[in-house]
Structure 1
Amino acid sequence: MTQADDRILETLADSDLTLSPRVLAANTDYSRHYISARLGELRDADLVDRVDEGLYVISDRGLAYLEGELSADELEKDE
């Protein structure tokens, strides 16, 4: 997990909206390309769900991570 991953998850959780990499980039100070790459990793870890082409929401697992119910170490073990 990176600092960007935390920012992406927090932005998705705080907005409670379906967001694109472009919107996430505008709200996190990371590039759209970098956000897209990180979203792929977050999706592989089941922390975000892709609801349509280029549109993402935070998953229940992502919320559990943000709430401290799931640690980064546990995520790495699942890989």
Structure 2
Amino acid sequence: MQQHHVIVGAGPVGSGIALHLANAGTPVTIVTRSGSGPDHPLVTRHRGDATDAEALAGLCTGAAALYNCANPPYHRWPQDWPP
């Protein structure tokens, strides 16, 4: 069974990575606030919050790789991406 990859964020970088992986035959789960993402048979779109660690961990179970392509506003980094 081929391992899947998880991508958080579907902006230009996240969408580009998702399509690159899917076109190469790798199943991808893409997580966004809206549940949107590239339309490809190997891309599963999921609505979620990148700051919800528990939910994100559940989506990443068994994943071969996680790509963090989310980009909250810089003034929110201390709250949303604590060290």
Do both proteins adopt the same fold according to a TM-score greater than 0.5, normalized to the shorter chain? no
Tell which structure's C-alpha radius of gyration is larger.
2
TM-score, length-scaled by structure 1: 0.31
Structure holding more strand per residue: 2
Q: Which has the higher contact order (CA 8 A, sep 6+)?
A: 2
TM-score, length-scaled by structure 2: 0.30
